Structure 1
Amino acid sequence: MKISKKHAVLFILFIVPLLFYIYLQMGTYNFGKLPIVTKEVIDVSNIYKKIKFKGKVSVVNFIGKDTIDSRGELFNLNEKIYKKFYGYTDFQLISFVDKELKPQTEALKEKLGKYTNMIKWNFIYTSKDEMDAIHDSFKSDSKLDSNSHTSQAYIVDKEVALRRGESTIKSLKKKKLFGYNMQSVAELKNDMFDDVKVVLAEYSLALKKNNRSEDRRKKSISNEEK
């Protein structure tokens, strides 16, 4: 059976977008929830009152005293993660730095800020003991080195719980990611990007569901009053 040009155009204009929408809905549904590694990690607000994990989806990393080796890692994190998500209201990036290295770090921030809006990137200057305490509370599979540094970046959700993904990279297939290697552009681009997106989508869908429930409740009350 031949398909006329008119029918082909109608198919492209109406059916294809519908199928794509259904595909997206199925994909969103299949996202599920990114597994929780550790509940109730220590909130950053315990050492810096102006910033908190609670109520935000946070990407967290530990620079410590290692601003030299961290430089490349931060540029990778900036390009592959921060620039993609800083426009989201619920997103923030937090870097913990040894307070003795504030001048060097401010210079690094200035370099990053030349091409990046740093509004959602918070540098917290603190002590080794405080960085150790927060990282230890993550109960991840890595430790901070002698400079209070790690190449791992972490995802902390709005309930102050550490989340983890599963690698999609062939050489790391099925590996559980308690943190994401900032030295690996592939790991940030292919794994962390998707996992941050999943956590943000999870809260977005929950908000939409709550709004629909509230709308139904208000409509029900209005009908009863009539």
Structure 2
Amino acid sequence: MSKDFKKYLILGFLFFFPIFVYVFLSTGINNFAKLPVLTENVKDIKNIEGNILETSFKDKISIVAFWGGDINKKKSEALNLNQKIYKRFYEFQDFQFVVMHNKTESEAIESLKNELISGVGTDLEKWNFISTTQSNIKMIFESFNTNIELDSNYSTPYVFIVDRDLSLRGRDDDEDIGMLYGFNSQSVAEINNKMVDDVKIILAEYRLALKKNDSLFYE
């Protein structure tokens, strides 16, 4: 191999390699870093009984919990989610928590909220507690179409990610269980090892979409 050929080969590599890396990264974000849609068109909560502020899943990234009539047993789950997820991501503009609970649990909810505020100094601005009927809790939950069931109190320790378009997001190839519809909020390990990553992915996905829209706007 001649010296000239080697020189041109090296120059060609130096020229094309950065282009290859750029193309790979720009397409990789779109193709590989999206959180799978597991269920489309989940029911919105905007018009259900008890939703005084008309909180909606639409145009929000929502972490959704179904606590039913089991609030006194939810302290550890609330603290896990608050410390590991809410405090880490609540500053994202369209991020919110939605907790659906039985309307008979109002006193227990107020006690839990006070503990989050006074005990760990949480700003509850983006915690939305929806006090409603068991039938409404069941209706919204069943629209998620998961392999998880509510218990006799219309409660589950699993929490879910719903995107701005009313789609349930999760994993379709989880290394442990395959289809991962929700995250066990009783497990700090599962929150740390799976949920944190998935929330990061969906927020990054929307940040990228916003940047693309901005670039189109200013072209």
Task: Name the TM tier (shorter chain).
Answer: 0.7 to 0.9
Match for 2:114 among 95, 110, 134? 110
Matches within 5 A, 1:36-115: 36-47=37-48, 48=51, 50-114=54-118, 115=121
Distance 2:176 2:69 in 1: 32
Q: Pick closer, same or farther for the CA change 1:37–1:188 going to 2, 3 Å.
A: same
Give the equivalent residue in structure 2 for 1:160.
Answer: 166
Runs of 4+ with >2 A deviation? 25-32, 165-168, 172-176
Q: CA deviation at 1:165?
A: 2.5
Tell me how far apart the structure 1 counterparts of residues 97 and 193 of structure 2 sit (CA, whole Å): 18
Q: Matched residue of 1:54: which SS?
A: coil
Distance of 1:97 and 1:174 partners within structure 2: 28
187, 190, 193: which one aligns with 1:184: 187
Q: Does 1:175 align with 2:181?
A: no
Task: Name the SS for the 1:46 alignment partner.
Answer: coil
TM-score, structure 2 as length reference: 0.81
Q: How many residues are matched? A: 192
Give runs of aligned pairs for residues 4-19 of structure 1, distance below 5 A: none
Does the 8 A contact of 2:38 with 2:172 survive in 1?
no
Equivalent residue for 2:146?
140
Name the SS for the 1:62 alignment partner: strand
Residue in structure 2 matching 1:195, options 177, 180, 198: 198
Mapped to 1, the partners of 2:95 and 2:173 lie a distance apart of 22
TM-score (normalised: structure 1):
0.79
Structure 2: distance between partners of 1:75 and 1:184: 11
Aligned-residue offset at 1:214: 1.8
Contact persistence 1:54–1:158 (CA under 8 A): yes
Identical-residue share of aligned pairs (%): 43
Distance 2:62 2:40 in 1: 14
